[in-house]
Structure 1
Amino acid sequence: MRTHLVRSGLAALSTVAITFAAAACGSSSGSTTTASTGSAISAARCAQNKAAGTVTYLSGYQFQSSASILEYVAASKLGYFDDLCLKVKLVPGSGDTAQNTKLLAGGQASVAAVSEQDVIQARANGIDIEGISSYSDAGLDILMTNPGTTALTQLNGAVVGDKGAMPVSVRAMLVKAGVSWNSLKVVKEGYDPTVLTRGQGGLKALTGFISNEPNQLAAAGHKVTVWQPVTYGIPSSLGAMAVNPAFAKAHPTAVQDVLRAALHAYDYCTTHVAQCVGYAADLSGVTYDKKLNAAIWTTETKVVSDNPTPGRPLGGIDPANITKLTDMLHTYSVIPASVTDQDTAGWFDDSAVEAVYNGTELIWPAP
């Protein structure tokens, strides 16, 4: 997942190690909405979940209020994990997707926020993780232009900025829209989106994340046009999760109930935004921008509601999207041609999501 972040750079590997050693946060037992620990489920299921030991959740980037992060923080603070006899340790990720997938494969994390595209890329590179859920086939990567640009073909020959790597979905969108890719001058920009509104270096377009830069620019009074790959039929994912396969095989009820608690919290946070963002702020410190993070959560959940996964409940994986992602990654030589559609289909299993629903209704608490 190209990380949709408010940040100035990626943390070093040593910082990640320190994070795991010292900055992890255990699940809260101070809920005002629940009774005693495990009271919501049977004694047998409680024992199974306790047998899993500590379940380490790794976020995509810190405790930013993104889908796949905020609901896990809220599930901890509201006592939903406690209700299901789960001991969940929340670990803030550095934003380095490749490093997160390695930590997950190595067992230093049990579950982690990883996009479907990044699951495919990780597995293609021999990193053993498994995708287990996704909220939407839409993604967060976008392209921004100033309002004067009314068609993407106006960007032919233009200077386009990214953050060091052009998102494949944005490139695919430009090509599908008829832009001559080889005519573009792609330059690396930092994390200040006003370089676009200022036209710095002749910049005509800038990549970003729909929940981040447009909200920052709007708050500062700048108008931009946002171009979303999903509107061009380009595949992606939002709020996707992956698991350590060995952990999932050994503790299936724990994986199911981690997702169950997060989905329950997702629903709660859609109507209690300030409260949930406050939980994330409590874990993050005084510099946490509550207003921006509330906008991030509201924007991302709207993308999910506007682009539901076809025929699946919230969290269910769309097999057709995996095939489309595979084809796109082949087209742009991101994964080897030897990786087949059958290979990538086998790298995902949403049986844990299926287990927590009765039709489209989330089963709460667990059976």
Structure 2
Amino acid sequence: MNTTRTALAVGAAAALLLAGCGGPEEGPAGGSTPTGSRGSAVTPERCRQNEAAGKVTYVTGFQYQASASILDPIAAKALGYFDDVCLDVEIQPGTGETAQNAQLVAAGTAQLSSIAGNGDVLVNVANGLDVQAVAMFGHVPVATLMTEPGITDLTQLEGKTLGHKGALPVTIEAMLRAAGVDVAKIDQVKVGYDPTVLVRGQVQALTGYKSNEPLTLAAEGEEITEWNPEDYGVPGSMATTIVDPEFLSGHRSAVEDFLRAQLRAYTHCEQHADECVADAAELSQAGYDSEHNAQVWRTETELVDSSLPDGQVLGRIDDAAVRTEGEFLVQMGQIPAVPDLSQVVVPDLVPSLYSGGQLVWPVP
């Protein structure tokens, strides 16, 4: 299956004394100006536990792009949600290199990080990095393959040029194989982040992300065809959160409340996208395309919401789904074996933040 796209218009408060930790306070924040007071969403005891964790460094997947697991932590900080649960959070922009993010977390340089998906977690664990996955937003691959409209069957790519960012994503390779393509007959080249190489004819196919390059090309009035791995039975995920296992062991309440604040901010940003994008733009300072990033956010939240399994809470990482991805990676030769998922995935953490399907806030 394919989808053709045409032109579419498309804290000072952190320094308060411990005695300043207040009791719980009901009700969501109503804007980008922080509300409540230090510790307003936790008990004094839990406030002390979270403050004992010290500075919590979170590395984004790619800069301050308005993606799931990037925009929501940024908003949680801007809205004061982290302060409400007595967490001192520093958000650092990632470079887009998933291995680098995993290395920072495994080394304890960062405590938490966004990473592209569960497959990236498994590959990094297979490469010897000690990280654990605690949350996941999308149950669908975020990667897509774009072609010029003249390509109506993926086998037509044999003998043609495909551009990627450094390596062919495993989900895209699997899709090509499932479509009967001899991948060895495709000329693969590394290209930059300018998607117009496709419409200029420099390549006949280009890998990218559903929430990024197709939006850019559509905004410029270009027509392309998107080919998506899930339409060929390829499993995948997006916006996974990893943690330093040692930090999780010593400061579980801090990890719980980080995710709690992030999930609350996610819901807020679904209703106030422009406000949250403005917070990210302020961090980026220059060259930030707010209109495009608002589209990125709306596209990704649609992917997240539409792929959420019935009866499952937002953010839960399903170890069965991780196993499915792991077995797929073994089949594709990306990892030698599925690791012991009891040491890699923490599936009970996010569900513990909910009661009756509702995120618990404030914390009892």
Residues 189-231 of structure 1 show CA distances to partners (whole Å, capped at 9, x for unaligned) of: 222211111212xx32110111111011111111111111122
Structure 1 residue 176: deviation in Å?
A: 1.1
Of stretches 180-189 and 203-212 in structure 1, the one that deviates more from structure 2 is 180-189
Residue in 2 aligned with 1:17?
Answer: none
The one-letter code of the counterpart of 2:260 is R
Separation of aligned partners in 2, 1:239 and 1:26: 30
Separation of aligned partners in 1, 2:74 and 2:66: 9
Residue in 1 aligned with 2:21?
Answer: none
Separation of aligned partners in 1, 2:311 and 2:333: 30
Question: Is contact 2:13–2:38 with CA below 8 Å preserved after alignment?
Answer: no
Distance 1:218 1:26, change over 3 A: farther
The equivalences for 1:32-47 within 5 A come to 32-47=33-48
Residue in 1 aligned with 2:361?
Answer: 364
Of stretches 217-226 and 31-40 in structure 1, the one that deviates more from structure 2 is 31-40
**What is the count of residue pairs matched by the alignment?**
338
Structure 1 residue 234: deviation in Å?
A: 1.2
Aligned partner (choices 346, 350, 357) of residue 347 of structure 2: 350
Structure 1 residue 46: deviation in Å?
A: 1.1
Separation of aligned partners in 2, 1:260 and 1:107: 22
Residue in 2 aligned with 1:20?
Answer: none
Residues 72-120 of structure 1 show CA distances to partners (whole Å, capped at 9, x for unaligned) of: 0000000000111111111111222211111101111011002211111
Residue in 2 aligned with 1:105?
Answer: 106
The one-letter code of the counterpart of 1:224 is I
Structure 1 residue 157: deviation in Å?
A: 3.3
Aligned partner (choices 151, 157, 165) of residue 159 of structure 2: 157
Separation of aligned partners in 1, 2:313 and 2:133: 16
Separation of aligned partners in 1, 2:186 and 2:264: 45
Residue in 2 aligned with 1:147?
Answer: 149
Residue in 2 aligned with 1:217?
Answer: 217
Question: How large is the Cα RMSD of the aligned pairs?
Answer: 2.0
Of stretches 137-146 and 262-271 in structure 1, the one that deviates more from structure 2 is 137-146
Whether 2:139 is the aligned partner of 1:137: answer yes
Separation of aligned partners in 2, 1:272 and 1:27: 24
Residue in 2 aligned with 1:56?
Answer: 57
The equivalences for 1:162-201 within 5 A come to 162-200=164-202
Structure 1 residue 265: deviation in Å?
A: 0.3
Unaligned runs of 5+ in 1: 1-24
Separation of aligned partners in 1, 2:347 and 2:14: 27
Separation of aligned partners in 2, 1:345 and 1:170: 28
Separation of aligned partners in 2, 1:118 and 1:133: 14
Question: Is contact 1:120–1:344 with CA below 8 Å preserved after alignment?
Answer: no
Question: Is contact 2:32–2:275 with CA below 8 Å preserved after alignment?
Answer: no
Structure 1 residue 241: deviation in Å?
A: 0.2
Q: Look up the SS of the partner of 1:329 in the other structure.
A: helix
Residue in 2 aligned with 1:16?
Answer: none
Structure 1 residue 345: deviation in Å?
A: 5.0
Q: Look up the SS of the partner of 1:41 in the other structure.
A: coil
Separation of aligned partners in 1, 2:102 and 2:118: 12
Structure 1 residue 28: deviation in Å?
A: 8.4
Residues 143-171 of structure 1 show CA distances to partners (whole Å, capped at 9, x for unaligned) of: 00122323323323332221220000000
Separation of aligned partners in 2, 1:72 and 1:265: 7
Structure 1 residue 311: deviation in Å?
A: 4.3
Question: Is contact 1:60–1:97 with CA below 8 Å preserved after alignment?
Answer: yes
The one-letter code of the counterpart of 1:168 is V
Separation of aligned partners in 2, 1:72 and 1:26: 19
Of stretches 248-257 and 141-150 in structure 1, the one that deviates more from structure 2 is 141-150
Q: Look up the SS of the partner of 1:134 in the other structure.
A: strand
The one-letter code of the counterpart of 2:168 is M
Distance 1:103 1:158, change over 3 A: same
Q: Look up the SS of the partner of 1:148 in the other structure.
A: coil
The one-letter code of the counterpart of 1:101 is A
Separation of aligned partners in 1, 2:149 and 2:310: 32
The one-letter code of the counterpart of 2:157 is L
Separation of aligned partners in 2, 1:144 and 1:262: 32
The one-letter code of the counterpart of 1:87 is D
**TM-score, length-normalised on structure 2?**
0.88
Residue in 2 aligned with 1:265?
Answer: 265
Residue in 1 aligned with 2:94?
Answer: 93
The one-letter code of the counterpart of 2:355 is N
Of stretches 153-162 and 71-80 in structure 1, the one that deviates more from structure 2 is 153-162
Residue in 2 aligned with 1:333?
Answer: 333
Structure 1 residue 327: deviation in Å?
A: 1.7
Residues 30-72 of structure 1 show CA distances to partners (whole Å, capped at 9, x for unaligned) of: 9645221101221111111111111111111111111110000
Distance 1:228 1:28, change over 3 A: farther
Separation of aligned partners in 1, 2:327 and 2:12: 40
Question: Is contact 1:130–1:347 with CA below 8 Å preserved after alignment?
Answer: yes
Moved over 3 A (4+): 25-33
Distance 1:234 1:82, change over 3 A: same
- Between the aligned residues of both structures, percent identity stands at 46
Separation of aligned partners in 2, 1:345 and 1:221: 48
